[in-house]
Structure 1
């Protein structure tokens, strides 16, 4: 397995409930290195651009409204097998279905407000990371 990167977003519900530090601690304890991080607030347009792939789905409007409802914290994470390991760490989209000890099981309230985003493939991780960060904002390989 190669060291690679994934994108996560600590969503507005995570920030609103003051769980940013708790979630980052889980991420770091799982061996991920943070190579880029910032706090930002998406507009409906920037949220819509990020979630463009879901534009035809019935939840798109609600998702964009939620993601622009408050500040969020996007991060690029690095680790061996980053995408798959991170998706396992965060758990199922619906926290009621998430495994015990996962971030969503511990902190999320619902499928719609599930506290955290994680890229679903290496290709999407690269695309999503570029949506939030210029290469100059990424810290060089820390390993």
Structure 2
């Protein structure tokens, strides 16, 4: 069993219909180990997206994540990271609309930054991101249950 972080971005959380649709997809496809709504601070956003600090979209992305409440999940399933990434679809909404019209980003994304959701891209990223967003979560508990 594998775990991943899933984040629903502020524009989705503000849209009751979109929020419910995404939550339903998550509940249907994954075991949810933890979930919470949270307001991402400037510090949290900068820490979370530190790897993108020198990229052109960094300020736009960190500002977006601070613009309202997000909803965060720790997901668990077989091949969880790839499964969640497949459900989300391509990062770029324009590409998602044309190549995977039923994916979450195609249905609920508005732009490349406001692309509806975030998912960890590797086990290392998942562990780092979960520690940032869910500092109270005991990751060793999951590791011991998976054995």
TM-score (structure 2 length as normaliser): 0.87
Structure 1 equivalent of residue 76 of structure 2: 78
Deviation of 1:111 (Å) = 0.8
Higher helix share: 2
Q: Which residue of 2 aligns with 1:63?
A: 61
Runs of 4 or more, structure 1, over 4 Å off, are 136-141
Provide the residue aligned with 1:112 in structure 2.
Answer: 113
Match of 1:4 in 2: 2
For structure 2, the residue ranges without an aligned partner over 5 or more in a row are: none
Q: Which residue of 1 aligns with 2:20?
A: 21
Q: C-alpha displacement at 1:81, in angstroms?
A: 0.2
Secondary structure at 1:96 match in 2: helix
Q: Distance in 2 between matches of 1:24 and 1:137?
A: 23
Match of 1:87 in 2: 85
TM-score (norm 1): 0.90
Residues of 2 paired with 1:38 and 1:138: CA distance?
20
For structure 1, list consecutive stretches of 5 or more residues without a partner in the other structure.
Answer: none
**For residues 91 and 139 of structure 1, what CA distance do their matches in structure 2 show?**
30
Q: How many residues align?
A: 139
Q: CA deviation at 1:26?
A: 1.2
SS in 1 for 2:115: coil
